[in-house]
Structure 1
């Protein structure tokens, strides 16, 4: 019996470590880390201090978002509108940009930094990691939901909790 418990604990710890390492490797592959990361746990503690920008496409945002996340998109991201209207040129505002995993959001965050915004962060693991850590996402009616747009089957494997939506 002890052997089984030790085996299962070892397997669980190994699996957890491997999945974290793999996410780290994935982000290292696609990102330059030019924008500092903020973890889901860190953000959850001080969320009201940040302006949250959602850098996913509208079909993803329409499924769910992090509460108070403002849609800015990716393909049609409008830097001028975002800086002038949403951020009101508050160069020292605390900003967190997120997407599915943190790849597209780094691109958007880099643009904000180049425009002179100094407190810009990229949500490590994006909305997937936010949901995986047990934090709430909301639908367009501002109600909690389990649904998260999983982008595609390849990226969707990183969403471990919640209901994956691909439409």
Structure 2
């Protein structure tokens, strides 16, 4: 009986410690993101959800996109991004650009704004924050997946849910 009571009493503390660790990791992640971004375009937080009818643009490498991406997202890249690839998108359409954490997508959204796209926004925290909140991603065939391209070992450590691949 004594043994059982000891375990029973320790479990809530262990769970609380894990929650505290997760909260601290998330706070570190957001501090890192804040340090990277200029906050030059409007940001959408994962917790707020994707605006209805938004055009989703993925500003990561094509290799990252093929591993997983938001459903219905269109790959536009970052290094070789060219606004002419989205000339079919209305300049007043709601556009949400994302990448791994929000840096590359912020730069692409800035380019879109400069090109006259009035409603280009950045997904704050990017795909990593999306997945860390338990939200779904799809693979290159459109099937649900748990895999997330971590970019590299330094950046992949920010993915706390799913399966990180490189």
- TM score, norm. by length of structure 1: 0.86
SS of structure 2 residue aligned to 1:148: strand
Match of 1:42 among 48, 56, 66: 48
Listed as ranges, the matches of 1:55-66 within 5 Å are: 55-66=59-70
Gaps of 5+ in 1: none
Deviations 1:19-43 (A, max 9, x none): 2221221112211111222122322
SS of structure 2 residue aligned to 1:33: coil
SS of structure 2 residue aligned to 1:53: strand
Q: Distance in 2 between matches of 1:107 and 1:142?
A: 27
Q: Is the 8 A contact 2:76 2:85 kept in 1?
A: no
Correspondence for 2:76: 72
Q: CA deviation at 1:16?
A: 3.1
Q: CA deviation at 1:81?
A: 2.4
Gaps of 5+ in 2: 1-5
Q: Distance in 2 between matches of 1:105 and 1:131?
A: 16
Q: Distance in 1 between matches of 2:150 and 2:104?
A: 14
Correspondence for 2:55: 51
Correspondence for 2:132: 132
Q: CA deviation at 1:5?
A: 5.2
Please say if 1:19 is aligned against 2:56. Answer: no
Correspondence for 2:96: 96
Q: Distance in 1 between matches of 2:118 and 2:78?
A: 21
Correspondence for 2:39: 33
Answer with 1 or 2: which has the greater Rg.
2
SS of structure 2 residue aligned to 1:62: helix
Correspondence for 1:119: 119
Deviations 1:85-131 (A, max 9, x none): 3x1xx222111100011111111011111122222221121111111
